[in-house]
Structure 1
């Protein structure tokens, strides 16, 4: 008997599990967060009329509890049997979109990992590094539903590689990549409001960073854990974690990020003097940073994000001077993000800065300014709003219940919109697993 193709493998898994084709399709859709696969499509997979994509194979691996490498190997066998046309022929026939080209590139990278088995190679490490770099950058600006499946698949593939044998230098690089992928997964959970899962992912990211002694990833993971604690309501723990992260000397902007997180947590906790001191530290760390960040996107801390954090901190400190400073910081954040490249424009931080401006205008008695800033967030698609943004909207709604606003017709209308938005599901659909 020859090697097993994908159709034969899926037929065997179907028969063993007792699942119908529709139940298999539902399982794929649950994990993808989108109803894109039907029972008929599953039947095509079993008859090898279509080969399931790398993304779908990742979901099937989870659904049936089978190693992804086994599904990948079966898919490769089926492709060889079918004698699929070369990529050049496909380009002529299909006039491919960027999405199709990216899918083909992902399959090629996956095949390189398959050729390496459970061992690493220079090509595999280079491909994984490129994929993680791309995902880290795109995470801040693109819909999460389009990235989550790939983050999860790459994380599992990296874990599988680490179960094999590598040269020590390759092993260290794989641990770093695994740590960054767990860090991305932690942010997925954070944006969805699943703080326990976020904490679990961050602990694995820390274990990877600590195992290889990488101070940059250690410091970044402490920052992520500080964020998780902050949005989970543990303000003192958030400040302590941010302070602990500053013990690790690392290049780039991470020092400014940690001090900014400490300042925000202390301010919300009511420690005005400590918050002001941490704000000053963040500014000094920004000015003294000699090198650029070694990873982009979610692993970096641009000036725009620092200004967004500072705006929230000034608001929490309170008082006329700090309220005005909050408005100025938030305006600067918005201006910097709007002038950035699309891939570097953080949707979550833009929302946060607009809501800080709204609260600043509200504290200054400028209702029109408040309505305009909140409108920017409310007019956006609900799936672009993370759990933290939904919480901010709810807090502003509560503040607009104050006696001085109750007789205002515009505020009454705005309050109704805010309450409706706060009740809507926050964040994108990312399947069963789940701030800025």
Structure 2
């Protein structure tokens, strides 16, 4: 029994363990055949020891794809009874041989044929890419209203499958397509992390989205990534960076493309500018955001990747409240009320609990500014009946608690009771089973 040094060398060059190599072979077989083989480190060890010299056809094809070689001989594989030649003995000595033009031409033709076969090999096809796109669309739509606990494992599983496909071999346009899919899935993972309050993880996922967008040369994905980076920076209180990220998204020469993404970026910029104290620029960006909404086309993806009109009115209310003053507070009440109406009358699958919470909390804040304590308490009650909140809604609740504590109505009995309730709900773990987008 002769050890398979060629296969061992290929594995060591990639710094894979035998278990990791076996796992990649299993993944490739699943992609190629739909079967779920049970190959492990022991199986791969038998290959390297020479105990198995000619595995089944599906496994040989998967080995060639994973190690990116042209044929089984390059893997040191051979049928039983056939002795593999060493590299030295398999390479003829042509130093003294006469030139054979016909043989040379035939050899050149074989090289071209080999290149053609290599170029044609791919681990994906149009149906696989179509299914991946369909899965991303479904998850993006479900993210708005389905329990997060049901979505997280599915997002992770699909991302893992796509990353493994990227590690294989495919045509350049298929590779770009896979990177776009990987980017959108990383965007979903980023939203999950931000919902749960894991800022560092969300930032890492967002950088991956940017990288995927750059590799795929996909302007809309890149602009969306900037919008998410703006969102994440806003909720850490870095309003300058939040505005810069949003501005980078729509000022990029390659642009955010059609759809509602421009309105989203401008709304994010307006909200950040208002929070940072630049009221004039905030109002200008807010107006531009509504102009962009008026000419927006359909979005490429649904659900969490869109910017519904109701959400835009929620952002508008938050921006106007941050600017402050009697006139802007009244405008904020109008905007937040409009957001609530649109969410309540829209399709049930499009109703985001987090967006509704945000709009009601803005209304509570605005009514407190007007001295309408009873109305503010009623708006707050609408939110406090929930059992769990996203990290961003928890931040909003704590800010409102601070506002109540510093205001002239801090000793109002209704508000004292509600502050106790706020303290209780904000001490709970961040959302674990209800999915909403960070606000």
Match of 1:242 among 223, 236, 246: 246
Match of 1:253 among 260, 265, 268: 260
CA-to-aligned-CA distance 1:345-402 (integer Å, 9 cap, x gap): 11211111111111111111111111111111110121xx100000111111111112
Q: Name the residue aligned to 1:151.
A: 155
Q: Name the residue aligned to 1:168.
A: 172
Q: Name the residue aligned to 1:364.
A: 370
Q: Is the counterpart of residue 284 in structure 1 residue 291 in structure 2?
A: yes
CA-to-aligned-CA distance 1:280-317 (integer Å, 9 cap, x gap): 1101111122x210101111111111000001000000
CA-to-aligned-CA distance 1:20-75 (integer Å, 9 cap, x gap): xxxxxxxxxxxxxxxxxxxxxxxxxxxxxxxxxxxxxxxxxxxx998487389698
Aligned-pair Cα RMSD in Å? 2.3
Q: Name the residue aligned to 1:272.
A: 279
Q: Which runs of 5+ in 1 are unaligned?
A: 1-63, 79-112
**TM-score (norm: length of structure 1):** 0.72
Provide the secondary structure at the position in 1 that maps to 2:386: coil
Separation in structure 1 between the aligned mates of residue 24 and residue 159 of structure 2, nearest angstrom: 11
Aligned length: 330
Separation in structure 1 between the aligned mates of residue 413 and residue 181 of structure 2, nearest angstrom: 53
Contact 1:236-1:266 within 8 A present in 2 as well: yes
Distance 1:362 1:68, change over 3 A: farther
Q: Which runs of 5+ in 2 are unaligned?
A: 1-19, 39-61, 67-121
Q: Name the residue aligned to 1:102.
A: none
Q: Is the counterpart of residue 306 in structure 1 residue 336 in structure 2?
A: no
Q: Is the counterpart of residue 70 in structure 1 residue 26 in structure 2?
A: yes
Provide the secondary structure at the position in 2 that maps to 1:401: helix
Q: Name the residue aligned to 1:5.
A: none
Q: Name the residue aligned to 2:414.
A: 410
- Name segments (4+ residues, structure 1) moved above 6 Å: none
Q: Give the structure with higher Rg (CA).
A: 2
**Cα distance, 1:407 vs structure 2:** 2.6
Written as runs of structure 1 = structure 2, the 5 A alignment for 1:172-191 is 172-191=176-195
Q: Name the residue aligned to 2:132.
A: 128
Separation in structure 1 between the aligned mates of residue 217 and residue 162 of structure 2, nearest angstrom: 19
Separation in structure 1 between the aligned mates of residue 372 and residue 25 of structure 2, nearest angstrom: 59
Separation in structure 1 between the aligned mates of residue 377 and residue 184 of structure 2, nearest angstrom: 39
Match of 2:227 among 215, 219, 223: 223
**Cα distance, 1:251 vs structure 2:** 0.7
**Cα distance, 1:77 vs structure 2:** 4.7
Distance 1:213 1:183, change over 3 A: same
Separation in structure 2 between the aligned mates of residue 360 and residue 223 of structure 1, nearest angstrom: 27
Contact 1:393-1:421 within 8 A present in 2 as well: no
CA-to-aligned-CA distance 1:115-135 (integer Å, 9 cap, x gap): x98811122111111110010
Q: Name the residue aligned to 1:14.
A: none
Provide the secondary structure at the position in 2 that maps to 1:187: helix
Contact 1:199-1:228 within 8 A present in 2 as well: yes
Q: Name the residue aligned to 1:394.
A: 398
Separation in structure 2 between the aligned mates of residue 191 and residue 298 of structure 1, nearest angstrom: 12
Separation in structure 2 between the aligned mates of residue 181 and residue 379 of structure 1, nearest angstrom: 32
Separation in structure 2 between the aligned mates of residue 239 and residue 227 of structure 1, nearest angstrom: 9
Separation in structure 2 between the aligned mates of residue 282 and residue 323 of structure 1, nearest angstrom: 19
Match of 1:425 among 402, 422, 429: 429
Q: Name the residue aligned to 2:334.
A: 328
Q: Is the counterpart of residue 202 in structure 1 residue 206 in structure 2?
A: yes
Distance 1:371 1:125, change over 3 A: same
Match of 1:293 among 294, 299, 303: 299
CA-to-aligned-CA distance 1:81-131 (integer Å, 9 cap, x gap): xxxxxxxxxxxxxxxxxxxxxxxxxxxxxxxx9xx9881112211111111
Provide the secondary structure at the position in 1 that maps to 2:426: helix
Distance 1:424 1:250, change over 3 A: same
Contact 2:224-2:256 within 8 A present in 1 as well: no
The range that moved more, 387-396 or 165-174, is 165-174
Separation in structure 2 between the aligned mates of residue 66 and residue 429 of structure 1, nearest angstrom: 35
CA-to-aligned-CA distance 1:143-184 (integer Å, 9 cap, x gap): 211101111111111000001111222111111000000011
CA-to-aligned-CA distance 1:174-222 (integer Å, 9 cap, x gap): 1100000001111111111111111110011011111121111111110
Q: Is the counterpart of residue 340 in structure 1 residue 346 in structure 2?
A: yes
